[in-house]
Amino acid sequence: MKLFQLVVSKSETKVSLLSGILHKEFSKLQSHAINYRIKEQVEQDRIHFYCQFWPITEHTIDTFDRIREAVGHSVANFIVEHKERDLLREVLIHEFGLTQEEQIEDIIRYTYFLLNTDEHGEDIETERALTLRKNIASRVVEYFLHENQLFFEGFIRFRLKDQYDAWRTTIEHAIDEYWVEKENKDFFGLIKQFLSSKQPGPPLVHLVHIDDRNLFLYDQQWSSISAQSVELIPTELFVGQLGNQDLILHLLISLAPARITIHTVQPNHHIIYTIKQIFEPSAEVCNHCSYCQRFFSNGQSSFTNKNI
């Protein structure tokens, strides 16, 4: 007979989910002629899961490898599916001293966005979860080659230290993102309030976005709009806010058009995001009209300011 112990804090709110995961994973062993029994026992401030296994036929190396793998998959599934969010929350509360529930939830949301998005902005949630499961399961299997008892809290802190540090680092970045986003919301609110007090501007303005340095404005007839032709609002409104796209935003807010059509092949670019946030729902993105075809032929910019 083989016996492993899994130990969790009595304050763990998802103990019943752990029990369900263990039974689901261990039941697969029965197809390999391995029986199991799980006994839960509360001891002081901890809950012990005594997991017993005994082969119906012969005891082989493969038999015990399968048992350890089943335990490893169970621990990994529980951490990824149910424990990770609680860990992020504990770090925010105990290591960063956050107490406001709304703030904590917002930062957890930012953390998951950073964890589940690659450098190209693509969703990698499924791939990340699979990789994390494999990593944790292999650590558990390795651990149980020499031990018979696993304390979840200690195992995560010390045996998964690199992963724990990665979670913490991501949280730090998420906190930075949260404060930047909060400042942006305050800034956008100020701009929207200013726009609501202005007289309606032109019915339509076209913004052509080539890259960070090449952004051009045109009126409804596709005549060029320059800073010299617009009565600009006070520049103090933009100090320290928007970097090298200040001028184009300055022009748009000064014009306060009824509609803005943004021609771009980078709809997720930060300046496009900013314009959409300020002018929603009046700003729309276009990448398929005849002008876009001239600007972005074959996915490459072929634009010069003399084309129009």
Per-residue pLDDT at 301 = 52
pLDDT classification of 26: cutoffs 50, 70, 90: very high
Bridge partners of residue 256, in order along the sequence:
none
With contact defined as beta carbons under 8 Å apart, do 225 and 210 qualify?
A: no
With contact defined as beta carbons under 8 Å apart, do 174 and 107 qualify?
A: yes
Mean pLDDT, residues 178-201: 84
269 contacts: CB under 8 Å, gap ≥ 6 = 209
- CA 119 to each of CA 127, 172, 240, 303: distance values in angstroms, whole numbers, following the listed order: 14, 17, 26, 27
Per-residue pLDDT at 273 = 85
Per-residue pLDDT at 17 = 94
**281: cis peptide before it, omega within 30°?**
yes
For residues 146 and 99, give the distance between their C-alpha atoms in angstroms, rounded to a whole number.
Answer: 40
Which percentage of the chain shows pLDDT scores above 70? 92
Instruction: Indicate the length of the chain as a whole number.
Output: 308
Mean pLDDT, residues 149-165: 95
Per-residue pLDDT at 236 = 54
For residues 246 and 131, give the distance between their C-alpha atoms in angstroms, rounded to a whole number.
Answer: 41
Handedness of CA 72, 10, 170, 181 (dihedral sign): positive
pLDDT digits (tens, 9 = 90+) for 55-111: 888 778 889 999 999 999 999 999 999 999 999 999 999 999 999 999 999 999 999
Per-residue pLDDT at 1 = 80
Per-residue pLDDT at 243 = 46
For the purposes of burial, counting CB atoms within 10 Å of the CB of 15, is it exposed (0-12), middle (13-18) or buried (19 or more)?
A: middle
Selected residue with higher pLDDT from 150 and 191: 150
pLDDT digits (tens, 9 = 90+) for 280-290: 889 999 988 88
Bridge partners of residue 6, in order along the sequence:
49, 150
Answer yes or no: is pLDDT of 227 > 90. no
Answer yes or no: is pLDDT of 7 > 60. yes
For residues 89 and 96, give the distance between their C-alpha atoms in angstroms, rounded to a whole number.
Answer: 10
Answer yes or no: is pLDDT of 21 > 80. yes
Which percentage of the chain shows pLDDT scores above 90? 58
Q: Sheet of 46-55: strands edge to edge? A: 34-43, 46-55, 2-9, 149-151
